[in-house]
Amino acid sequence: MNSAAPHLAPGLRPFERGPTNPGPEAGFPVRDELLDSLAPDLAPLRDKVLAGTRLSFEDGQTLFATSDVHGLAALANYVNESLNGNRATFTFNRHLNYTNKCQYRCMFCAFRRDGDEADTVVMDMDYVREHLTANFSDGMKEVHVVGGINPDLPFDYYTELLRTIKETRPHLHVKGFTMIELNHLAEISGKPVEWVVEALREAGLDSCPGGGAEVLSPRVHRKLYNGKLPPEEWIATVKKVHRAGLHTNATMLFGHIETTDERLDHMVAIRGVQEETGGFLQFIPLVFHPENTPLQRLGKTTGLDSLRTLAVSRLMLDNVPHIKAYWIMLGLRIAQLGLLHGADDIDGTVVEEHITHDAGATTPQGLSTEELAGLIRETGRQPVLRDTLYTELQAV
């Protein structure tokens, strides 16, 4: 928006007008009429946004505190429409959770297993091949590959998994392995993360998802996911991945014990990384699902908090092209409304998801492209089918 372009590694797409953020299309007016009637606390922020001035941490505090939720939505909507026009994107994808055995015990996790439970999963290559043949289709654009940190799996398992996917479904974009998995692979191979990324890329890895960042707060890390990669190492790892020329997303798990200031710290940290590398394609606020986790007593956060967090994300992350309203976690109704609160993407068909459903998500396991397009169209947005890197776009 107003920041100097980062020095991009070869292979990364710059944040400028183009498929990744097309701007308003000819004839589509950015709807800013609501910006004339904002509450007094939001008026100075409107002036900054319209002038392209970066919002500060304190501005973020105002956004989280304001009672003018319509004004907040209008501001976020304005920024989104300035970047992405009237489009709302989604992809035709499916998840592959290759194992749920995990050596960590993050307190917000209902997905992990110790390994001796009847529903422990470790996919072997015959299963992966059969599964991809039977349940994936030629039109599918992406497979999203993540799993637990399974101490039984050797490094070669991961390269073999990627090769098996590419041999069976060569056209699929493989978005796989969080910064947590990449660090684990560095540990078991005894090699640097850069070497791991190169070996995985040679085997078929195309980009990485944004999970595992949780909330980039030392306090939350200590209390909820102490065994796992600390915030500064997540940041250091994602920078290495970007510098190796792979795009990633960034997530933020919210709605548990974190404060809104910690959410803002997280957003400012992501914005800082993006300033250096330009490697993030999407920011994805993930709402915490407490069922079947040790934090069950916390309950779920509200729809309004989810929409507010989407809107604040859009406004604070002025250098990240896309904000995703991930329907699996937000629920269909809130995700749909999210498209009017700064989000421009609703993820994809997904089809088979375990991480959130094990924690009590009541959303369907998958939606058809027609169902997703219908949800988008109802908001007045133009549904557009995309690939992972936004290089192929198709109005539907």
Q: How many residues does the chain have?
A: 396
- Contact flag: residue 96 with ligand SF4 (CB under 6 A): no
- Give the DSSP per-residue string, 328-395: HHH-HHHHHHHTTTT--EEEE------TTGGGT--S-S---HHHHHHHHHHTT-EEEEE-TTS-SEEE
Q: Which range in 12-20, 102-110, 121-129, 382-390 contacts ligand SF4 by CB under 6 A?
A: 102-110
Judged by CB under 6 A, the chain residues 206 through 245 that form the site for ligand SF4 are 228
Q: Where are the alpha helices (DSSP H) in the chain?
A: 43-51, 57-65, 69-84, 125-135, 155-168, 179-189, 193-203, 218-224, 231-243, 260-277, 303-316, 327-330, 332-338, 369-378
Between 104 and 195, whose beta carbon lies closer to ligand SF4?
A: 104
d(CA 312, CA 329) in angstroms, rounded, equals: 18
Kindly tell me which residue out of 109, 132, 140, 172 binds ligand SF4, with binding defined by CB under 6 A: 109
Between 111 and 327, whose beta carbon lies closer to ligand SF4?
A: 111
Between 109 and 208, whose beta carbon lies closer to ligand SF4?
A: 109
> Closest separation between CB of residue 104 and ligand SF4, Å?
4
Between 112 and 240, whose beta carbon lies closer to ligand SF4?
A: 112
**Which single residue is written with the structure tokens 């606390």?**
41
β 322-323/393-395 pair status: unpaired
d(CA 91, CA 388) in angstroms, rounded, equals: 7
Judged by CB under 6 A, the chain residues 161 through 180 that form the site for ligand SF4 are 180
- Contact flag: residue 195 with ligand SF4 (CB under 6 A): no
> Closest separation between CB of residue 195 and ligand SF4, Å?
22
The H helix count followed by the E strand count for the chain is 14, 10
Kindly tell me which residue out of 43, 69, 104, 303 binds ligand SF4, with binding defined by CB under 6 A: 104
> Closest separation between CB of residue 203 and ligand SF4, Å?
22
- Contact flag: residue 354 with ligand SF4 (CB under 6 A): no
**Which single residue is written with the structure tokens 């307190």?**
107
> Residues 327, 294: contact at Cβ < 8 Å?
no
- Contact flag: residue 186 with ligand SF4 (CB under 6 A): no
- Contact flag: residue 357 with ligand SF4 (CB under 6 A): no
Kindly tell me which residue out of 88, 149, 220, 307 binds ligand SF4, with binding defined by CB under 6 A: 149
d(CA 86, CA 25) in angstroms, rounded, equals: 8
Q: Which range in 33-41, 97-105, 189-197, 310-318 contacts ligand SF4 by CB under 6 A?
A: 97-105
> Closest separation between CB of residue 90 and ligand SF4, Å?
25
> Closest separation between CB of residue 152 and ligand SF4, Å?
14
Q: Work out whether the CA dihedral 54, 59, 64, 70 comes out positive or negative.
A: negative
- Contact flag: residue 121 with ligand SF4 (CB under 6 A): no
Between 228 and 243, whose beta carbon lies closer to ligand SF4?
A: 228
Kindly tell me which residue out of 42, 75, 106, 196 binds ligand SF4, with binding defined by CB under 6 A: 106
Strand segments, DSSP code E, in the chain are 87-91, 93-96, 142-145, 173-176, 248-254, 280-287, 322-323, 345-348, 382-386, 393-395
Kindly tell me which residue out of 85, 148, 290, 342 binds ligand SF4, with binding defined by CB under 6 A: 148
Instruction: Kindly state the number of chain residues that form the binding site for ligand SF4, as judged by CB under 6 A.
Output: 11
Between 37 and 226, whose beta carbon lies closer to ligand SF4?
A: 226
CA distances from 104 to 158, 188, 215, 313, 393 (A): 19, 15, 17, 29, 39
Q: Which residues bind ligand SF4 (CB under 6 A)?
A: 102, 104-106, 109, 111-112, 148-149, 180, 228
